[in-house]
Amino acid sequence: MHVDTPRVLVWPNQDIFKHGILAGFPASFGTAENLSKFLMYCRTKGKNGWPNVCYAIWESYAQRNFNMTSDLACLFFESCRHICMPTKDTSAWDDRYSACSSEDTKSRMRDKVSVNTVHLALYMYSQNVTLMQTQKFSLRSEEFPTDRKAKKKSIDVRFIETFLSDIIKILSEPDSKGLPLDKQPMSVANVSSLGVMFTVYTENSIRPLHEVLQQQAHATVCSFSKLTQTYNTQQVRTWLLDHMHANPFTSKRCLMHGKTVYQKPGRPLRRSSDISLENGSSNTLTRCRITVNDHETPKEHRLLAMQYVSRQISVLSPETLLNHRVHVTHCNDASIYLLSSMKCVSVKQCSRTTLVTGPVAGTLYLTGCINMRIISIARRVVLRIISIARRVVLRNCHSCKLYILTPTRPLLLAGCNDITLAPYNTYYRGLAGHLSHATFSVVKNFWDQPASPMCLDGDSGKVYQKLPPEQFHLFSIPFNTEGTTTGLVNKLPPEYEEGTMRARDRVNKWYDNVQKCELSETQTVQLAATLQARFHDWLETTGHHKELEALIRLRDKS
C-alpha cells in the first residue's frame, strides 16, 4: 500500500548565514582539510576537546595553525556559541561571567567554556560563503556557476549545493578518511551535528534533521541501518540536495502575503515575484507596509516586516511583536518603537531614524544604515538606536549613535565608521516582564568594549567613539505601557550618572531662580510667551515639530 511521504523543505540555517558570517576575513583557515585536521586534533584532547571543545584548546590551535590573533579566535568562538547554542544554555554562563570582578576568575571561566566541536568546525567553514559574492573559489577548482537557474538562487543555497560534499567530508570518521562518499557510513550523531547548518520544514513545523531522517520513508532512502545506527553518506548528500529549497519565510514573502498591520497608500514602487511554497506569483509593493506572517508560519519563524516607514511615528503593540523576528528596511526620517521581547531584529538601509526596541533574545543586526540613533537592549548589537540585545552586529554603517545594553561585546564589521556608543538610557513600564521572558538578566553592560577586528592598530578611533558624558541624556518614551518598571534597569557608569544629575540640577536651579524673582502676573505671562516662542523656534530649526505633531495625532487616536 502506497503511503504519501510528507513534503520536506530544507534550506540553510538563516541564523548562521545571515547573522553569523563575519565577512572580510581570509578563508585560508576554513578549508575542509584544515578543519578535518582540527577535529582529529580535538579527538586526542579527551573530554576537553571532544565532543565539546573548551576555549583554551580552540584558542591555542587557532593561533598556532590558523594564524589567528587571540581576539579573532575569541570572536569566532563566542559567535558560534551564541548562534549554534540555545539561549537558555548560554545566558546563565554569560550572567556568571559578567558578575565576576576578578580578571583571573574571568580568564579561568573563559578557558573552560565549551561549544560543540563539530558545530564550531562547520561554523568556521560557513564563513566561506562570502566567496560566492566575490566569485572567487579558492576552496575547489570549480568555476562559478553561470546558468540562469543558479543565478536565481540565493548565495547561501548556491554555497551549500556547491560545497556540500566538502561539508560532509569534514564530518568523516577517522577510519573512513579517503573512502568515496558512497562507501562511507554517517552516524546519527554526525547527522545531528550536520543539522546545525540546515532548517528542515515538514508537516507545518520546523524539525531537527536527524529526527526527519529517522522517519521510515526517509531512513529507507538514506539506507539507514538499525544494526550500526548509520546512514549511507552519499545518499544523505543526495537527499539534502533533492530537498534543498529557498527559505519560504522571508521578509519579501511576508510583505507580499502577510497580514497587514499597517499600510499607508502610495504609488506602486515595482513588481516583484513572490517566493511561494508551491507556485510563483506576482504582486505590487506599496509604500509603508507593516505585515506579519503568523497565519502561515511555524512559531520558530514568525516574522514582522516593516518597509518604507517615512516621516512618521510607528508604535507596535507588544503582542504583535512577541517572539517574532523583525525586519526593518528602507525607513527614513521616522521614529519606530518596538517595545516587546523579540527573537532577533534586522535593520537594513535605514537613515535619519530613531529605533527603540525591547529585549532582543538573539542578534540585533544593522547593515547599510546612515545617520541613525538606536536605543536597544540586545544580546549582541549593530542609526539613533536604543536597544537591549544578546548580540549586536554592525556592518557598513556610518554616523550611527547606539544606546545599548548587551552582555557581549558589540561587533563592528567592515565598512563601519563614525559609530558613537553610549549606555542604555531609557525604560518603559513593561520592560521587566519582557526581560524575564527573554531570559535576560542585567548584570554587566559591555556597551563600551566593542570588537572591531577589521581595524588596523590605532585606527579604532576612526570607527567608533564613546559619547561624551556632557552630551548624554535620558530618553523619555512619549506614551504609557502596562507594567511595573519605573526606572532604568541598568546602572549607569559614574560619569554618565553625574551628567544626568547635573542636567537635572540645572533644570531645578532654573525653576528656583524663576520662583525667587517673584514675578508679577503680567511678567509671568510675558515669560511664558517668550519661552513658548523660543521653544517653537527650536522645534522648527531642528525639525522636531513634525515629530511632536505626530505624537499629538497618536494621542488623539488612542
Query: Which tens digits make up the pLDDT trace of 205-220?
Result: 899 999 999 998 999 9
Sheet with 8-12, edge to edge strand ranges:
8-12, 198-202, 205-207
Say how many Å lie between the first and final Cα of the chain, rounded. Answer: 60
Task: Flag whether pLDDT at 5 surpasses 60.
Answer: no
Tell me which residue has cell 539506507: 223
* Per-residue pLDDT band at 110 (split at 50, 70, 90): confident
Q: Which residues contact 321 (CB under 8 A, 6 or more apart)?
A: 304, 338, 339, 340, 341, 342, 358
Task: Flag whether pLDDT at 382 surpasses 80.
Answer: no
What's the burial of 522, exposed, middle or buried (CB within 10 Å: 0-12/13-18/19+)?
Answer: exposed
For residue 85, give the DSSP letter. S
Residue 3, pLDDT score: 42
CA distance 117 to 119: 5
Angstrom distances, CA of residue 193 to CA of 118, 170, 189, 208, 246:
6, 11, 6, 10, 21
Average pLDDT value for residue range 275-297: 60
Model confidence pLDDT, tens digit, residues 300-352: 889 999 999 888 888 888 888 999 999 999 999 888 999 999 999 999 999 98
Residue 139, pLDDT score: 44
Query: If residue 403 lies in a helix (H) or strand (E), which one and from where to where?
Result: strand 401-405
Q: Which residues contact 345 (CB under 8 A, 6 or more apart)?
A: 325, 326, 328, 338, 357, 360, 363, 364, 365, 376, 378, 387, 389
CA distance 232 to 209: 15
Cα-flanking dihedrals φ and ψ of residue 444, to 5°? Answer: -140, 145
Nearest to 138 by CA among 222, 227, 32, 211: 32
Task: Flag whether pLDDT at 96 surpasses 90.
Answer: no
Cα-flanking dihedrals φ and ψ of residue 104, to 5°? Answer: -65, -40
CA distance 62 to 68: 6
For residue 365, give the DSSP letter. E
164 close to 171: Cβ distance less than 8 angstroms: no
Task: Flag whether pLDDT at 69 surpasses 50.
Answer: yes
Range of weakest confidence among 330-339, 359-368, 549-558: 549-558
Mean pLDDT of the chain: 82
253 close to 274: Cβ distance less than 8 angstroms: yes
DSSP H helices in 328-400:
none
Angstrom distances, CA of residue 494 to CA of 387, 498, 518:
20, 6, 37
Task: Flag whether pLDDT at 279 surpasses 90.
Answer: no
Nearest to 249 by CA among 488, 12, 460, 537: 12
* Per-residue pLDDT band at 402 (split at 50, 70, 90): very high
Task: Flag whether pLDDT at 437 surpasses 50.
Answer: yes
Task: Flag whether pLDDT at 150 surpasses 60.
Answer: no
Q: Write out the three cell numbers for 552.
A: 499629538
CA distance 372 to 351: 6
Residue 379, pLDDT score: 54
Residue 317, pLDDT score: 86
Q: Write out the three cell numbers for 278.
A: 508551491
Residue 519, pLDDT score: 81
Query: If residue 75 lies in a helix (H) or strand (E), which one and from where to where?
Result: helix 70-84
Query: If residue 54 lies in a helix (H) or strand (E), which one and from where to where?
Result: strand 52-54
Range of weakest confidence among 205-214, 454-463, 470-479: 454-463
Task: Flag whether pLDDT at 113 surpasses 70.
Answer: yes
Give the CA angle between residues 165, 170, 173 to the nearest 5°.
110
Residue 512 CA to its chain's centroid (Å): 48
Angstrom distances, CA of residue 58 to CA of 16, 22, 35, 186, 448:
20, 18, 12, 25, 26
Q: Write out the three cell numbers for 289.
A: 507596509
Residue 454, pLDDT score: 63
22 close to 127: Cβ distance less than 8 angstroms: yes
CA distance 99 to 116: 25
